[in-house]
Amino acid sequence: MPESMSKTHIAAEDRHSIFYEELRATLQANGVQLVSNPMDAGAVMYIHVDDTGQRVLSVSARNVPREYEVHYTVQFSVETTERVIVEPQVLTLTRDYTYDETQVLGKAREEEILRRAIADDLVRLILRRLSSI
């Protein structure tokens, strides 16, 4: 990770999303000091898009959903006071899961777990990108 990111500010509209929470935790675990004021930061990471959702992939003969796709999209960029380190980039990841109407509570939990796993994968992709700079 670039030295300029040792003190970083994350600029995001949604500070309660799964992705934002994963990003904060991972940056801190990697020794990055997160600051609340962008003027105190060596770098600012902008989260332009933080969007998640699902769509039906297949239905049964009775028109009941059988398979869903969970997707997560983020767009981010990173700037220091001198230059843009990372131009705006869009990352999208998806996962499929089957749906059983007799296990609604378990499937809702599975969807939440998938969303967290996708957010974690997105954070790892971003950190890999930053470490190559």
Tell which wins on pLDDT, 132 or 99: 132
pLDDT at 1: 75
Q: Is the pLDDT of residue 129 over 70?
A: yes
Tell which wins on pLDDT, 56 or 21: 21
Lowest mean pLDDT among 31-45, 70-84, 96-110, 119-133: 96-110
**C-alpha gyration radius of the chain:** 18
Tell which wins on pLDDT, 101 or 31: 31
Span 3-131 CATH architecture: 2-Layer Sandwich (3.30)
Domain ranges of the chain: 3-131
pLDDT digits 0-9 by tens, 33-90: 999 999 999 999 999 999 999 888 787 788 777 788 899 999 999 999 899 999 999 9
Mean pLDDT in residue range 9-33: 96
pLDDT tier, 111 (very low <50, low <70, confident <90, very high otherwise)? confident
Cα 70 to Cα 108: distance, rounded to the nearest angstrom: 12
Q: Is the pLDDT of residue 106 over 80?
A: no
Cα 21 to Cα 90: distance, rounded to the nearest angstrom: 19
Candidates 116, 30, 23; CA nearest to 76 is 23
